Amino acid sequence: MEVIAIATQKGGTGKTTTAHALGAGLIWRANRVLFIDLDPQGNLSYILRADMDGATSYEVLTGQATAKEAIQHKPGGDIIPASPALSGANLEVNKTGKEYRLREALEPIRNDYDYIVIDTPPALSILTVSALTASDSVIVPAQADIFSLQGISQLYDTIQAIQQHSNPSLSIKGILLTRHNTRAILSRDLTQVMSNMAQQMGTRVYDSVIREGIAIKEAQASQQDIYSYAPRANPTRDYIAFIDELLGIK
């Protein structure tokens, strides 16, 4: 079983979209997948039609519920949903060993799933640190722009600190370019700069890139995965190619 965090220090890069597309794609390939929503905005929970009034990831982090008690079984997949209360987690999750809470909570259910996909907030907080401490690997969604480059650099500093202090085995699976425009000259130039940065981080930029497409927003609005809603759309084909690349399928 592998725990994969989807993390970035910059908003608007398709983080939640990638978390959902990855998990849904793995389910389509007959894998058992659990989603965990640690973003107080709860967008992933909304897409999966989760109830945020019961036990959530907030209760799991604060020890008020076990992971098993917080899991909801929805048509789109199993999920531990988010809660608006997560926005105060930095103040309320403050005891010694706080960064290990999620990791310890997931131990009893590790054998129940093939993959656990964690959606994190687009900022450094105890939520991101908890997710990275609990994860085996991290995927970084990014756009080919200067702000994403800055965000990746900041995230890498965080990952190095996690590797040093709380999770030495954490690996960076790769950087996934999203909302991509292959025709833009600036985009092509920054893609090369990002590839150089990835090498310095000991990882790579995936060959697969995710093109912009209205089908993604429409699928989210209808609370469906992209594969069911628009199987022939460009972003759908791109995410299929990405998952094949991730799994080593040719």
Q: What is the DSSP letter of 249?
A: -
Residue 50: pLDDT over 80: yes
What is the per-residue pLDDT across 202-214, written as a single tens digit (0 to 9) for each? 999 999 999 888 9
Q: How far apart are CA 89 and CA 86, in angstroms?
A: 5
Which residue range forms the structural domain that includes residue 194? Answer: 2-247
**Cross-strand pairs, 33:** 115
Distances (CA, A) of 64 to 19, 105, 149: 26, 11, 38
Name the residue with higher pLDDT: 193 or 105: 105
> What is the pLDDT, as a whole number, of residue 96?
55
> How many domains is the chain partitioned into structurally?
1
The two three-digit tokens of residue 52, written as one number: 């945020």
Distances (CA, A) of 104 to 6, 53, 110, 134, 228: 19, 23, 10, 8, 34
Residue with tokens 């809603």: 229
What is the per-residue pLDDT across 169-187, written as a single tens digit (0 to 9) for each? 999 999 999 876 666 544 5
> What is the pLDDT, as a whole number, of residue 106?
97
Q: What long-range pairs does 62-70 form, CB within 8 A, spacing at least 24?
A: 62/92, 62/93, 62/101, 63/101, 66/105, 66/108, 67/105, 67/106, 67/108, 67/109, 68/108, 68/109
The two three-digit tokens of residue 239, written as one number: 């995410």
The two three-digit tokens of residue 190, written as one number: 């920054």
CATH (domain of 168): 3.40.50.300
Task: Give 99's pLDDT tier (boundaries 50, 70, 90).
Answer: confident
**Cross-strand pairs, 74:** 77
Q: How far apart are CA 134 and CA 104, in angstroms?
A: 8
What is the pTM assigned to this prediction? 0.92
Distances (CA, A) of 56 to 11, 30, 39, 166, 179: 23, 26, 11, 24, 30
